[in-house]
Amino acid sequence: MFPKLSEDALAAWQAYNAMETTKSRHFDLLTSLEAKYQEQGHASAEEQALLSRLLADHDQQVGAFRHAMARLRNANPKAHETLIGYITALNSALAAFQSTQPDAKAN
């Protein structure tokens, strides 16, 4: 189910993990701010600046991941394919443990 990653794939795998981390940070803050100001008010300038900084961090990591994957694809197409399979298998396995969103029809 989970293929073994080669040494060649480790830099791209680390870039993927960094991208996922920055995505989580941004999304967690965004979700918290939406909950905090659900009834009224809005995020302070400081909160908005932090949210923007986290989004910029994520954008930077997305670029780093894209470049790492391109380098891997050019250097070792088999390792590139294996990493894609690994990420796909991991995300599929973890999906069963993630909280589900309410059905849009229920709203």
Total domains in the chain come to 1
Domain for residue 61, yes or no?
A: yes
Query: Domain of 70?
Result: 9-16+43-87
- Residue 105 confidence (pLDDT) above 50: no
Long-range pairs for 82-91 at CB < 8 Å and ≥24 separation? 82/3, 82/4, 82/5, 82/6, 82/9, 83/5, 83/9, 83/12, 83/13, 83/16, 85/3, 86/2, 86/3, 86/5, 86/9, 86/13, 87/16, 89/1, 89/2, 89/3, 90/2
Confidence of residue 103 (pLDDT cuts 50, 70, 90): very low
Domain for residue 58, yes or no?
A: yes
Summarised one tens digit per residue, pLDDT across range 7-17 is: 999 999 999 99
